[in-house]
Structure 1
Amino acid sequence: MYTPKHFEVSDHDSLFQLMQNYPLGTLITVEEDGINANHIPFEIVTPNTEAPFGMLRGHVARANPVWKNLNVLHEALVVFQGPQAYITPAWYEEKQLSGKVVPTYNFAVVHAYGRLQIKDDAQWLRQHLGHLTDQQERQQTIPWKVDDAPNDYVQKLMSAIVGIEIPLTRLSGKWKTSQNRSQQDRINIAAGLRSGQDATAHGMAELVTQQSS
Structure 2
Amino acid sequence: MTTRSPPWWCTRRTGLVANHLPFEWVDGALHGHVARGNELAKLDGAEVVVIFKGPDGYISPNWYPTKAETHREVPTWDYAVVHVHGRLKVIADAVWLRRLLERLTDHHEATEPQPWRITDAPDDHIAQSLRGIAGLEVSVERIEGKFCTQNHPERNRLGAIAGLRRRDGDGDVELAALMAKQEAPKP
Q: TM-score scaled by structure 2? A: 0.88
**3-state SS of paired residue (2:124):** helix
Aligned to 1:124: 96
The alpha-carbon distance between structure 1 residues 189 and 133, as it changes in their structure 2 partners (threshold 3 A), is same
Identify the match of residue 36 of structure 1 among 17, 22, 30: 17
Distance 1:64 1:34 in 2: 14
Contact 1:26–1:40 (Cα < 8 Å) also in 2: yes
Contact 1:111–1:173 (Cα < 8 Å) also in 2: yes
The alpha-carbon distance between structure 1 residues 185 and 146, as it changes in their structure 2 partners (threshold 3 A), is farther
**3-state SS of paired residue (2:100):** helix
Is 1:144 aligned to residue 116 of structure 2?
Answer: yes
**3-state SS of paired residue (2:167):** coil
- Give the letter aligned to residue 67 of structure 1: A
Distance 1:164 1:135 in 2: 18
Is 1:56 aligned to residue 30 of structure 2?
Answer: yes
- Give the letter aligned to residue 190 of structure 1: I
Identify the match of residue 96 of structure 1 among 52, 56, 68: 68
CA RMSD of aligned residues (A): 2.0
Contact 2:3–2:25 (Cα < 8 Å) also in 1: no
Q: Tell me the percent identity.
A: 39
- Give the letter aligned to residue 40 of structure 2: V
Unmatched tracts of structure 1, length 5 or more: 1-15, 49-53
Unmatched tracts of structure 2, length 5 or more: none
Distance 1:199 1:147 in 2: 37
Distance 1:125 1:21 in 2: 16
Contact 2:4–2:24 (Cα < 8 Å) also in 1: no
